[in-house]
Amino acid sequence: MSRIPRFEKQKQKRREKGCKAWCKSINKLPPDGWVHCRCDDTLMAAMDPWTFTHLIGGIVTGLTTYWIGWWSMLVSVGAAVLFEVAENTVIGSTIAATVCCYPSFIGDNMWNSIFDVIFNTIGGFITALIMMENGWVA
7 — pLDDT class (breaks 50, 70, 90): very low
Q: What pTM was estimated for this model as a whole?
A: 0.85
Spatial CB neighbours of 110, under 8 Å, sequence gap ≥ 6: 22, 23, 25, 26
Q: What is the mean pLDDT of residues 28-56?
A: 83
pLDDT at 13: 56
Q: Is the pLDDT of residue 96 over 70?
A: yes
How far apart CA 2 and CA 118 sit, in angstroms, is 48
